[in-house]
Amino acid sequence: MKTALLLLEIQNDYFSTVNGRTPLEHSLEASIKAQSVLNFYREKNHPVIHLQHISTHPNASYFLPCTKGADFYSNVQPLKNETVFKKHYPNCFKDTPLLNYLNKAKIQHLVICGMTTQGTVDASVRAAFDAGFICTVLHDACAAQQLEFNNAVIPVQQVHHAFLAALEQGYAAVRSTDEYLQKANASLSVA
């Protein structure tokens, strides 16, 4: 089964280390895990697709066009031979060439990591599943935001776990990066 890595919105505005406009807790740790998977895919010459959010909403405060904040974070910078798609919605399939690209490349399995668990990761995994893809989400290579509902603050870890638990109920396999890489390396050594 042909697999591709999707790196979702791992962009400077989510990182306090580069004075991002909306830093996420654990974004650095998540990016390091994403980098390890990215390095594996590069070594094996497997498809890598970077999704970059560019805000088009008139009141947007981050991922603004032509800003450093919209650039990819340094440890997951795309190489010249890697595919990059710009997006304007949480769902990375909406109004992008991603679905057409994946179908033409005969990709059936997507390994997904990035920002944010409750936003782009959730929306994109559900859309990918609905389009017929098998999905694996690397939970420690994703980061979430604290939310608020009905005047109650929902801590980041609870948001992260709740959305991953919901995705695991039929939409995706949810694995740690180390578990995924161990299994991927083992399957390659058997082949």
**CA dist 48 → 24, 37, 176, 188 (Å):** 24, 10, 19, 18
Tell me the CATH number at 137: 3.40.50.850
- Is 6 within 8 Å of 93 (Cβ atoms)? no
Alpha-carbon gap, residue 191 to 185, rounded angstroms: 10
Number of domains in the chain: 1
**Going residue by residue through the chain (191 aa), what tens digit of pLDDT does each one get?**
899 999 999 999 999 999 999 999 999 999 999 999 999 999 999 999 999 999 998 888 999 999 999 999 999 999 999 999 999 999 999 999 999 999 999 999 999 999 999 999 999 999 999 999 999 999 999 999 999 999 999 999 999 999 999 999 999 999 999 999 999 887 754 33
| Structural domain boundaries enclosing 143 | 3-190
